[in-house]
Amino acid sequence: MRAKEFIASNEASLKHPEKVKQIINELLPLRSCKQKTVEYYNKKLISDIRLQGCLLAKELYEKNNAMQADEPEGFLLGSDEIPVEDAAAVRDELFEVIKDDKTFGYLFFLLGNLRNSQRPTHPIDCVPDEKGILEALKQSRDDYPKSALSEYLDDDINFAQYRKLTDAGITDEATILDWFNNAYRIYDEIRLVKANPLSAIRIYDEDNSCGSNEAKALTFRFICTLIESTASDDKRLIRIKEELKRVLPSTDNGNTAAASKFHLKQKKGRKTDFARVMNVLLEMGFFVDSDGDQAVKADFFDALGLLLNENFKDYQNLLSTTKGASVADQKALIRVFEEMLAKQKEIISK
């Protein structure tokens, strides 16, 4: 669970909710940087530890201990620092809030290390994984606002949406950046109230940040796409997506193409294997769009879905699952390709 969602669900049980929320919000843009996280931690969260250090240094100095030859400076609480009497309790609550949110890997390392030093008999595995943190940030989709449009476009779903915006005549880079920042803000607000689908619908009804009704519909359709593509295992968000689709204006202008007569044969694992094969062909450059450019993955799988009367909105989950499910020799990943090779040899030998 993301830290912000944990707070939204458990705020009533927190003893320092406002302090914890403030800290989380201030750390959100620092999560990808270990150094900035450490600097924030030292500046904000360890006043009690600093006080202990000052008192120890003073005691050593007064005893003429060679380890403290110079008179230490007195203790001063920083202007933004958590008070001494609250620091330990706030850190404990922070630990509970972020322990399942991998985007806060560097803060988890700092808090976990401190716990390990205080409770050595039950050590916590808290070594930070830089690649894991960056991947978690990508998956969480709460790393906003961004200051450059290019930061959004290194992503298939965002790039496909960028194409839709430009096709709709929205071409100014600053305007598109503002659009993405606003869309992700709304998406995050919806996720924080996902326990109640009606609250999400109220956000749709009451939000006036998008401008025209057409722009608003475009934004919330994109949010539905985000849910379908990245959160298909979250039943609460799926319910919200379905409710949003009920209130969003229809895009059907009476020119709906006839349904395809083709279907993917139903067999366990067939959809995943098919997605693997088509993804490899796409990566090899077999498919281009109407302009002759490399096909956008999200658009490509949408088209496959129409052809086969199948929902491939979860294509990212299918492809990421293949990575997680593969064993050391990757047999799970390459089985379908080995079967294809065997079939081709059989065809040749006929």
The string of pLDDT tens digits covering residues 82-92 is: 999 999 999 99
- pLDDT at position 255, please? 44
- pLDDT at position 323, please? 46
Q: How far apart are CA 25 and CA 21, in angstroms?
A: 6
Answer yes or no: is 332 within a domain.
yes
Q: Are residues 27 and 97 both part of a single domain?
A: yes
Q: Are residues 118 and 167 both part of a single domain?
A: no
Provide the number of structural domains found in the chain.
Answer: 3
- pLDDT at position 252, please? 54
Of 247, 279, 301, the domain-final residue: 247
Answer yes or no: is 38 within a domain.
yes
- pLDDT at position 321, please? 55
Residues of the chain with confidence (pLDDT) below 70: 251-259, 321-329
Q: What's the whole-model pTM score?
A: 0.68
Q: Are residues 211 and 337 both part of a single domain?
A: no
Answer yes or no: is 189 within a domain.
yes
Q: Are residues 34 and 116 both part of a single domain?
A: yes
Q: Where are the alpha helices (DSSP H) in 99-212?
A: 105-118, 130-140, 150-153, 156-167, 173-192, 197-206
Answer yes or no: is 131 within a domain.
yes
Answer yes or no: is 326 within a domain.
yes
Provide the sign of the torsion angle of the four alpha carbons 148, 154, 160, 163, taken in this order.
Answer: positive
- pLDDT at position 73, please? 82
Of 138, 158, 182, the domain-final residue: 138
Q: Are residues 116 and 150 both part of a single domain?
A: no
Three-state secondary structure call for residue 294: strand
CB contact set of 118 (below 8 Å; sequence gap of 6+): none
Domain region containing 157:
142-247
Q: Are residues 19 and 100 both part of a single domain?
A: yes
